Amino acid sequence: MDASTCVTFLLLVGVCAMCRPVLAADSHPEVRGAYATVYNMVDVKARAEQGDPAAQTLLAECYLGGAQGLATNRVEGYKWAVVAASQRHKDAKHVLAECDLFLSASDKANGKALAEAYLEKQKKAAKEPVGQNKTVEKPGEQKQATEKPAKP
């Protein structure tokens, strides 16, 4: 081989070596969605509870598939998919369509009841005046007296 052929060959090998990780990732299409990234599920659950439809959809997928360290819970997964879809989240609607194909009627009914209870609780919380927040005592903590003792 002459020098130019060797250089061309080495460049080709280098380019192929750089593309290999991309090709390897593309050869596993089943690794996507809730499985492609490791999430902090405590954060995802908190964001879902606060009303983030993307977090709700992710939580639904994780419960339905038993991903990210969560045990499979089809009822809870359906609940979060319904909640996210109620906010018109496109991916949640796709998750619901899959659930309609694969979940039992009782799982869907129980999940829908949980979703309706959650949404009703959210509506009530949204209607509550800002100044009316209840103070929660921590265990072992005593309430401080708000009134001053009367002077004799």
Task: State the pLDDT at residue 139.
Answer: 52
The neighbour count for residue 21, using CB atoms within 10 Å, is 9
Where helices occur in 27-135 by DSSP H, the ranges are 41-49, 53-65, 74-85, 90-102, 105-127
In this prediction the pTM is 0.62
At residue 66 the predicted structure's pLDDT band, cuts being 50, 70 and 90, is very high
pLDDT at residue 37 in the model = 80
Task: Say which range, 36-50, 63-77, 91-105, 135-149, has the weakest mean pLDDT.
Answer: 135-149
Q: How far is CA 45 from CA 18, 89, 109, in A?
A: 37, 17, 22
Which residue in 78, 77, 98, 83 sits closest to 52, CA to CA?
83
Higher pLDDT, 127 or 62: 62
Per-residue model confidence (pLDDT) at position 126: 86
